[in-house]
Amino acid sequence: MPRLRLVAGVVLAGLALAAGCGDEDTPADDGGRPESDADGGIETDIPGPDADADADAPGPDADADADAPPEADGGFDGYVAVHFGTSAAPPAEVLRVGTGGIVLRGVVLAPDRAIDPGEVYVAGDGNIACVAADCGGAPGASSATWVDTHGVISPGLIDAHNHIAYNFLPEWVPDPPRLFRNRYEWADDPQYEAHILPYAAHRSAGTHYCPAAKWGELRSLIHGTTTVQGQSYQQACVNWGVRNADHYHGLGYDHMRTTIASVRDITDAEAADYVASFSAPTNPTTRLAVHMTEGYDGDGVLEEFDSFAGRDPRPNRHAGTSLLIPPTSLLIHCLTMTPAQIEEARAARASIVWSPSSNWGLYGRTAPIGEFLATEGLTVAIAPDWTPSGEDEMLSEMRFGWAYGQAVGVEALTPERLWRMATVEAAMAVGLEARVGRLAVGYAGDVTVFGRRGPDPYAAVLDSRAADVRLVLIGGRGLYGDAGLQAATAWNPYCEPFDACGVPKYVCVQESPAAADRRNETLGDIRTQLYNILEGIGYPPEEQYHRGDELLELVDCTR
């Protein structure tokens, strides 16, 4: 979804020109933020900026203020053609159909190297039992199903930050196009509020949340993602498809807490509650996911890190109590951080999630990713944020990140590093690194096979689209893959045919026709519910939006 990012470079240039003109009527921003109640639900309304601030004022010219944060775009124009020189792999072959487990043969992306040729054996219990050049001698492998994928075998991708239930909505493009200084500006824009209204009006209700969240999970699954952070509401209808890092991941107790509110609004009592939960004797919280410095100026965004670290001088803002408690902090976006703050985050074993496409579309710049990657020991993941401002899914986001690195000279953004940011480091970021993110014995059998080949297997992953995703296993169960693999790999007999841009696939949506908690729904059922929400069919007069044609399809075949 390139529209906003394609114009971002033009808009950014226009804003810089406007700022250089020195509009004396634009009121100065005092850096303050209105106080509001911090909320533990990730989809709560984002508090707006100071009512006295001019939300339409262009961002300041960095050259006019020596103390202004440097721009991170480095001349990036929002789009770079991506060519990796890979080609479609030969079709996968089912070598034998067994009675339990599956052995996959291909180029195996093991934690420390690529094994070519290699094999991965996922046993009948859903866990990986062998990763080697030859798994034929592993106990139980002789009775497993064997598939020569002719592709690249990777851990399933991990989306370390998303607002997944919004991902049936298309990209939001302000009219006229404009950029913002921070997240509090666009969150109060009437056009944005109108864009998300069909969902936001009832986002906590099962009528809206369940189909929207499941559609978002399906988009992730079809593009090779097996774990997602960002399923805000713990409703049984989403205990179903991809793993939810927030809850319903099936890998132990639910250990993550999230907040969408400004970290500057965390009170003394709330901070004490967080600290106590980190050290609870039973089921302690291991991750606190927060939006950090999502912007570069105004509304107190530059004070967020210090506030979170216990250095906020305002009353009732936990001064002296840092929430940078190792290794619990999951810091999302981080557009503006000083070298000292980056080092403090590293020392606290915090994790950072980089969302370059969303940052670029909203702000015309992104985080200092080169500095992040140069900081040894700092965990950095990549994630698309959501469809209203970011890429549709992880593969596109990884390509965007690679293109950005090529344009501005961040040499560390290699295909292999981006793959690690979407697997190993993403698992560390969400606190599930003991079970997912690696092809290793004892890990969950979350595996994605990509049907492209080339000199660099990591580039083959980045160069893949939904049509190239050959097979997706979650816990050893085939939930998406080539139609030719359905009989041998599909989770159940209710999996459906799916057209991935002309390539026949199968996708498993319905658990069974009699399943509870809406797990009896088909792909068509979910799509119809979302179409009706956008159109207004079956809803009261005030919810007649007539926007059914805006439903964002699961696959974009134009890119």
Q: Is the pLDDT of residue 83 over 90?
A: no
271-304 exposure pattern, b = at least 16 Cβ within 10 A, e = fewer: beebbebbeeeeeebbbbbbbbbbbbbbbbbbbb
SS3 content of the chain, % helix, strand, coil (to 5): 30, 20, 50
For the four alpha carbons of 43, 186, 220 and 435, in that order, the dihedral sign comes to negative
Q: Is the pLDDT of residue 206 over 70?
A: yes
Assign 438 a pLDDT band (cuts: 50, 70, 90).
Answer: very high
Residues 6+ apart with CB under 8 A from 300: 31, 32, 33, 262, 264
Maximum CA extent, the chain: 77
What tokens does 114 get? 């690529």
In this prediction, residue 73 carries a pLDDT of: 55
Q: Is the pLDDT of residue 362 over 50?
A: yes
Q: Is the pLDDT of residue 4 over 80?
A: no
Q: Is the pLDDT of residue 13 over 50?
A: no
In this prediction, residue 310 carries a pLDDT of: 98
In this prediction, residue 203 carries a pLDDT of: 86
Q: Average pLDDT, stretch 337-351?
A: 98
367 vs 126, 243, 360, 412, CA distance in Å?
38, 27, 10, 14
Among 360, 354, 260, smallest CA distance to 12 is for 360
Q: Is the pLDDT of residue 502 over 90?
A: yes
pLDDT tens track for 217-235: 999 999 999 999 987 667 8
495 vs 213, 521, 523, CA distance in Å?
19, 11, 10
CA-to-CA distance for 485 and 456, rounded, in angstroms? 25
Q: Average pLDDT, stretch 8-22?
A: 36
CA-to-CA distance for 283 and 264, rounded, in angstroms? 27
CA-to-CA distance for 381 and 428, rounded, in angstroms? 9
Q: Is the pLDDT of residue 494 over 70?
A: yes
Q: Is the pLDDT of residue 542 over 70?
A: yes
In this prediction, residue 31 carries a pLDDT of: 36
Among 244, 248, 166, 162, smallest CA distance to 212 is for 166
Beta strands 287-292 and 256-259, pairing class = parallel
550 phi and psi, to 5 degrees?
A: -90, -5
Mean pLDDT of the chain: 88
- pLDDT-wise least confident of 257-261, 389-393, 457-461, 519-523: 257-261
CA-to-CA distance for 361 and 367, rounded, in angstroms? 13
Q: Is the pLDDT of residue 143 over 80?
A: yes
Q: DSSP characters for 62-115?
A: GGG-TTSPPPS-TT--S--------EEPPPPEEEE--SS-EEEEEEEE-SS-EE
Would you call 162 helix, strand, or coil by DSSP? strand
Which H helix or E strand runs over 352? strand 351-354
CA-to-CA distance for 89 and 76, rounded, in angstroms? 33
Q: With contact defined as beta carbons under 8 Å apart, do 96 and 145 qualify? A: yes
% pLDDT > 70, the chain: 85
Q: Average pLDDT, stretch 226-255?
A: 87
Q: Is the pLDDT of residue 80 over 90?
A: no
Would you call 521 helix, strand, or coil by DSSP? coil
450 vs 233, 487, 500, CA distance in Å?
31, 19, 14
- Which DSSP category does 237 fall into? G
What tokens does 180 get? 């913002």
What tokens does 493 get? 């007999």
pLDDT tens track for 366-402: 999 999 999 999 999 999 999 999 999 999 999 999 9
Residues 6+ apart with CB under 8 A from 481: 449, 469, 470, 471, 472, 489, 490, 505, 506
pLDDT tens track for 274-321: 999 999 999 999 999 999 999 999 999 999 999 999 999 999 999 999
User: What is the chain's Cα-based Rg?
Assistant: 23
Q: Is the pLDDT of residue 62 over 50?
A: no
CA-to-CA distance for 371 and 461, rounded, in angstroms? 25
Strands (E), 192-265: 225-228, 243-244, 256-259
- Side-chain half-sphere CA neighbours of 519 within 13 A: 15
CATH 3.40.50 for the 3-79+224-430 domain, yes or no: no
pLDDT tens track for 327-343: 999 999 999 999 999 99
What tokens does 497 get? 């045919």
